[in-house]
Structure 1
Amino acid sequence: MGTHDGIADATLGEMLARAAGEELLRVRRESGLEGKELGNAGDAAAQQVLAAMLAEHRPDDAVLSEEAKDSAARLSADRVWIIDPLDGTREFSEGRADWAVHVALWEKGELTLGVVAIPGEDLVLSSATVAPAPEATEGATLTLAVSRSRPPAVTEPVRAALDAELTPMGSAGVKIAAVVRGQVDAYVHAGGQYEWDSAAPIAIARAAGLHTSRVDGTPLVYNGSDPYLPDLVVCRPALAPRILAAISDYTDGDS
């Protein structure tokens, strides 16, 4: 991660996330659209902002985006921006605040930057500046972030193993950010996602000192030829053995 055209990557990442977030708020405020039409308009508008800014400031870098055609050129590139212009389209279109903009930078095999904007809270989190995740409160009931619309089947065995309470919320970025911010203790997903759903928030979670992995405990790897990356675990490091064991017991019993 470095500086190009006088702007550091970390600074550009925040500029990108903020600009897309501001455009999304404008679309929601001014377009007069609702429901699926509003969501589609938001996806397109945020993609346009991010694509234009990356073309201006990082024309030589490759891009992997949910809202743009993929190119095999990124597989031989040293630098790839992995972006989700609007993570949580349903929440955005419903007027909620639990949606996000994801901007990540992958360099030579590793995520080196992640920025997540949560415009509904006027919040931007960056792996370059994030504070260590707060410690658990002694004796407090553990909490597990879960999808409000499509909770995966693995949620219940993990909840039971931790004797945890479920906290429904939208965007994957918002859920991972909630672990980073100490609002919940863990987020486990096994229902299908893509690299752009998790790259930026995972980079932030790692910088905050949290455990991040696939549900089988193996590392999350980005810029693969197939961007499908269907499962993840994000939690305080002390909880990881219990969570991974609960998932293993569940999947062993299911096979």
Structure 2
Amino acid sequence: MSWTQADADFAAEIAVAAGKLLQEVRASRDWEPKELGKAGDAAANELLCHAISIERPDDGLLSEERKCDGSRLTKSRTWIIDPVDGTREYGEARDDWAVHVALCIDGRPELGVVALPDAGLVLRSDAPPALQPLNHPPRMVISRTRPAAEAIAVAEAIGAELVPMGSAGAKAMAVVRGLADIYLHSGGQHEWDNAAPVAVALAAGLHATRLDGSPFVYNCAETWVPDLLICRKELLAEVTEALRATAAAN
């Protein structure tokens, strides 16, 4: 079983619709940031889950904002969504938040859409952008609020410039777009944080795995994903060696 162009267009359509709804919610009145995050999450989640349940009723569904009943675990095709990736950034009216829609088939991230509504961008695995020239020195995106110690150590080892950024989707797409070359995270995420970004990154020709090089497997009973590395393949050997040296030193 595989995905179709109709699946890809559907994923993009609902990601864009959710992004527009989130912007409308934010503009509807003055909000406290945390209150806005909750309202936006709820509204976008309802839109996405309703659309998938109506248009793809036989598929599984996993959302950050929806209690999982376990039925997805019996499905070959499962949609994994994050209605607002980067709630803090959304609440602060920054542009580094995202909407994630992924279709995983037998655990593989086969299709992904990452919408960056305030940046006016939609990145799709079925039509990934061409990779841009490497940055010199290389640039590594890290969390604005919780930069991973391993990422900082690797950046120092290879002479990379650190670029703080918001959501996981925005950071991954910065590498896809050529604004950065490396996204290394060891602080843990959930499947909805990286399924769509990983699908787009792989389709664009980037390296995207766990830190130990193992592939991502999605639609698991345990949704926790301890770490990830998305980077240009030209830098993989250098980054991997720096990771090994960092681990040995600790």
Aligning the two structures, in what range does the TM-score lie when normalised by the shorter sequence?
over 0.9
Other structure's SS at 1:8 match: helix
Cα distance, 1:245 vs structure 2: 1.8
Superposition TM-score, scaled by structure 1 size? 0.94
Structure 2 portions without partners, runs of 5+: none
The ranges of structure 1 where at least 4 consecutive aligned residues each deviate by more than 4 angstroms after the TM superposition are none
Cα distance, 1:2 vs structure 2: 3.8
Tell me, yes or no, if structure 1 residue 187 matches structure 2 residue 183. Answer: yes
Q: Which residue of 1 aligns with 2:68?
A: 70
Distance 1:159 1:10 in 2: 35
C-alpha contact 2:3 2:111 (8 A) present in aligned 1: no
| Count of aligned residue pairs for this structure pair | 249
Cα distance, 1:45 vs structure 2: 0.8
Question: Which of 132, 135, 139 lines up with 1:134 in the alignment?
Answer: 132
Distance 2:14 2:169 in 1: 16
Q: 2:165 is aligned with what amino acid?
A: M
C-alpha contact 2:173 2:197 (8 A) present in aligned 1: yes
Cα distance, 1:175 vs structure 2: 0.3
Q: 2:180 is aligned with what amino acid?
A: V
Which residues in structure 2 correspond to 1:242-253 (within 5 Å)?
A: 242-253=238-249
Q: 1:199 is aligned with what amino acid?
A: A
Query: Which string of whole-angstrom CA distances, capped at 9 and with x for unpartnered residues, describes residues 130-170 of structure 1?
Result: 12322315xx2111001111101112211112201111110
Distance 1:253 1:162 in 2: 16
Q: CA RMSD in A?
A: 1.2
Q: Which residue of 1 aligns with 2:117?
A: 119
Superposition TM-score, scaled by structure 2 size? 0.96
Distance 1:79 1:54 in 2: 12
Question: Which of 95, 98, 106 lines up with 2:96 in the alignment?
Answer: 98
Which residues in structure 2 correspond to 1:230-245 (within 5 Å)?
A: 230-245=226-241
Distance 2:154 2:69 in 1: 37
Cα distance, 1:247 vs structure 2: 1.6
| Cα gap change, 1:69 to 1:162, in 2 (>3 Å) | same
Tell me, yes or no, if structure 1 residue 147 matches structure 2 residue 146. Answer: no
Distance 1:31 1:227 in 2: 35
Query: Which string of whole-angstrom CA distances, capped at 9 and with x for unpartnered residues, describes residues 20-51 of structure 1?
Result: 10110001110421211011111111101101
Q: Which residue of 2 aligns with 1:35?
A: 33
Distance 2:79 2:7 in 1: 10
